[in-house]
Structures are given as C-alpha cells and as structure tokens.
Amino acid sequence: MPSTPVDNRPELPAYDRPQLPAYDQRVVVAFLLGEAGLPVAEDELDELVSVFALVRGMTRILHGATVTEQLE
C-alpha cells in the first residue's frame, strides 16, 4: 500500500465549446405556449415575448455563482 494516495484519474481534455446559434425569442415563446396548449393571439404573443425576457433574467439570478456555492 502506498503511503500517500495516488491520483490515477486521467487529465480531462479542454473542450472548445461551440457557441449555440442565437435564437429567435418569438419562435421560442410561441413554441412554449403552443406546447402548453394555450390559444394566445398575435398581439398577446408580442407582450409575452417581453415578459419572456424578464422571466429569463430572473432565472439567471437563480443559476448564479454565489447561490450555487451555497447549494452544492
């Protein structure tokens, strides 16, 4: 038995992660509402696209670094 632990884990390769293409928020919003079966009208969709931006901003706070350190 060696007196000190031996780390035999392979070194992880550095990934060059590709950027996802920019998405069209209106298409995403329409998709999500459609999946939920909600009969949203065109003018309502316009308003919900701006709400969607607020919503995603809110969720980014949740996935932020500080709170993650406390949770994990």
Partner 1 sequence: MRIPSGVADAAAALRSGELTSVGLTHALLARIERENEGLGAVLGRCDEAALNAAEAADRALSAGTDRGALHGIPLALKDILATEDAPTTGGSLAVLPGFQGYDSAAAERLRSAGAVLIAKATTSEFACGTPDDTKPFLFPRNPWDTNRWAGGSSAGTGSGVSAGLFMGGVGTDTGGSIRVPAAFCGVTGMKPTFGLVSRFGCIPLSETLDHVGPMARSAEDCAHILTALAGPDSRDTGSRTFEHQDYADALDPDLTGITIGVDRDHYRLADVPGEVVAAYETAASELAALGATVVEVRLPFFSEIAAATTVVMNSEPLQVHGRNLREHWDDYGRSTRLRLAAGAFYSASDYTRAQAVLRRGRVLLGEFFQTVDCVVSITSAVAAWRFEEIGLAAAMKTPFFTNRWNGLGMPAVALPMGFSSTVTGSPTLPLPLSWQVAGPTHSDGLLLRVAAGYQTRTDWHSQIPPGFELEEAGA
User: With binding defined as CB under 8 A, does residue 42 bind partner 1?
Assistant: no
Q: How far is the CB of 14 from partner 1 (least distance, A)?
A: 26
Task: Provide CB contacts within 8 A for 28, sequence distance 6+.
Answer: 52
Is residue 52 within 8 A of residue 29, CB to CB? The reply is: yes
Question: Is position 30 an interface residue for partner 1 (rule: CB under 8 A)?
Answer: no
Question: Interface with partner 1 by CB under 8 A: which residues?
Answer: 29, 32-33, 35-40, 44, 47-48, 50-52, 54-56, 58-59, 61-64, 66-67, 70-71
